[in-house]
Structure 1
Amino acid sequence: MYKLSFFVPDSHVERVKSSVFAAGGGRIGAYDHCAWQVLGRGQFRPLDGSQPFIGEAGQVEQVEEWKVELVVADELIQSVVAALKQSHPYETPAYEVWRLEDF
């Protein structure tokens, strides 16, 4: 089992969650669409040659983003991350993947 965490602007949070759920993320026992999310503030500076969804090259941008966390079965992690990347509006989405242990 893995834990997937990603950051996404409010305009796309439901779209991205729907995509990762459709790919099999967020299943725990007899439940699906399981996730935890919190609103926060992210920051980045697009570099020359980038094509930012928000902001301009060379300028620090701050934006409200959702941090979404969910679990993913071992055999689905690659397809769930691919669904995240395909549905996310950012050129380079920020996400983390952790391997979980079951005790």
Structure 2
Amino acid sequence: MSLDVLVFYVPVADTDAVLSAVFTAGAGRIGNYDQCAFVTEGRGQFRPLVGAHPTIGEVGKLERVVENRVELTFPRPLRQVIVAALREAHPYEEPAFHVVENMA
């Protein structure tokens, strides 16, 4: 079965909760291992625009947040389930993420 890659950005304090949700949905399994992920810390930034309801920050003001970049694999048929779990568990109104289709 083909494994694709999910990459998302999340505030450091919320990382474990979001990881738990995507692991429960079936992400992070490689062979005889589960809960596999690569996590790196960095600084994200965003400016909420009119109409936004930010979890962190204020409309119109640039916000900088210490976040983790999380990378993990998942079986391609679970894409919709994994993305739904990410969106449900993530604290942001619009989580930043992308899915990379593994061609192997």
Normalising by the residue count of structure 1, what TM-score does the alignment of the two structures yield? 0.97
Q: How does 1:46-65 map to 2 (within 5 A)?
A: 46-65=48-67
* SS in structure 2 at match of 1:20: helix
**Counterpart in the other structure of 2:8:** 6
**Counterpart in the other structure of 1:16:** 18
Count of residues in correspondence between the two structures: 102
**Counterpart in the other structure of 1:71:** 73
**Counterpart in the other structure of 2:94:** 92
* SS in structure 2 at match of 1:84: helix
C-alpha displacement of 1:18? 0.1
C-alpha displacement of 1:74? 1.0
2:76 maps to a residue whose letter is D
Aligned alpha-carbon RMSD (Å): 0.6
CA distance in 2, matches of 1:76, 1:29: 16
C-alpha displacement of 1:84? 0.3
* SS in structure 1 at match of 2:86: helix
Query: Tell me, which stretches of 5 or more residues in structure 1 are unaligned?
Result: none
CA distance in 2, matches of 1:69, 1:97: 10
1:40 maps to a residue whose letter is G
